[in-house]
Structure formats: structure tokens, C-alpha cells
A and B are shown apart, each in its own frame.
Chain A
Amino acid sequence: QQQVKQSPQSLIVQKGGISIINCAYENTAFDYFPWYQQFPGKGPALLIAIRPDVSEKKEGRFTISFNKSAKQFSLHIMDSQPGDSATYFCAASKGGNNRKLIWGLGTSLAVNP
């Protein structure tokens, strides 16, 4: 049973456009929501993370929006660049517990020049 549902599976965006990846979770006890970015041939790396005490967190062109009532969170990439082409994973856990991090299945993003 997948507890974190990520969509879309793949996404193609033009350079300069906005990329949006959505995740929905089921367990209301989750309180830590990281996003990991994976380039081809590399391991995933933490991109940005949010806790439910805020509705939005921004780091450069990357923003997490969090909707606690809808049990959804999303990653927005503004002014998308070809260098952003990667696979993005959302995840969730209770208490920031990395042992029990529940992963989405990933979104493959391609940004066309």
C-alpha cells in the first residue's frame, strides 16, 4: 500500500516554465516532508524539506507548498532550466524519522532548451 502518491510520473517543461510535482499522503501523523533530486548516474540528494507548521518554503527557484487539510504537498520549480532535468522524489515521515521515510515513486522531469 503506497502511502505517498506522487504525480505526474513524467513531466516535460519548456525552459523558463514552471514545473509542478504533486504528492499526496495518507498518514496524518507525518510531519516531515523532504524532496530529493536525482541526476542520471547519481544518488538522490536532498533538495528542500518542509514541516507542517508552515504552508510554504522557498529556496531559490524551488518552493514547497504544503496543504495540511488536503494532505498534499507540491514542489514548484520556477524558471525551469535544462539543468533541472532529473528525477524528483517526495517523501514523508513521522518525527523526521529517516528509518521510516515513505517515498513517492518519483517524477522524471525533462526541461527542453
Chain B
Amino acid sequence: EAQVTQNPRYLITVTGKKLTVTCSQNMNHEYMSWYRQDPGLGLRQIYYSMNVEVTDKGDVPEGYKVSRKEKRNFPLILESPSPNQTSLYFCASSPGSPGNTIYFGEGSWLTVV
């Protein structure tokens, strides 16, 4: 089954404790990205990657890091989480060519206290 898998799905952590949200896709997609979804703010892109070792900032990259060492994986790293990073996070992937469907994971609820 074609899917984007992210873990953990739910996490409560404390301010400043580094955490990583993993993302893996099994569709051999070139493009992967991370979004955060907040009430009233819709979907905001954090980072994206067009291929292995190629990453770029989205609209709200502050406080986040990513890496793309393998085509299938695109982890999101919060080096020092803060309460304003409490959000619902989505990983997504799509083929690199234009106009293609974006496939989203099921989301990771992150609470920073």
C-alpha cells in the first residue's frame, strides 16, 4: 500500500528536549515536505526536499531542522522545542514533476510543555 508513515503520532515533551519526528514514504517520490497545521492558520510549510541531500526552507522554518540522506526518509528535528511549536505536523511526498498529487501522512500531534 502506498503510504507516508510518520512517527510518533502523539508526543508530549518538555521545553528544550530534542526530538525527532520520522517520516518515510514507499512510493519512490522525489519531493518530500513537512507542514504544520494550527487552528486558523491552515497548513504552513516548514521545509521541503526535492531529492536526496537537497533541502530548502518553507514558510516557517525557524526552530526546525531536516535532513534527506535517503530518498524514502525525511525526518523533522526540533533541537530545542518550545511551547509555540505545539502543533499538528504532517509529512508529505509527491513525484517531482509538476501537478502531481501530494500524499500526506496521518499527522503527528506534538505538545511542548
Contact = CB atoms under 8 A, between A and B. Distances in A.
Given A95-B98, A99-B48, A42 B107 contact: yes
A110 to B, nearest CB: 16
Interface residues of A, number: 21
Interface residues of B, number: 25
Interface stretch (B36-44, B63-71, B73-81): B36-44
A45 B106 contact: no
Nearest to A44: B104
Given A43-B4, A44-B43, A32 B102 contact: no
A42 B101 CA distance: 16
The residue among A43, A95, A104 with the most chain B CB atoms within 10 A of its own CB is A43
A46 B56 CA distance: 24
Interface in A55-113: 89, 95-99, 101, 103-106
B108 to A, nearest CB: 10
Interface of B: 4, 31, 33, 40-45, 48, 50, 56, 90, 92, 94, 98-107
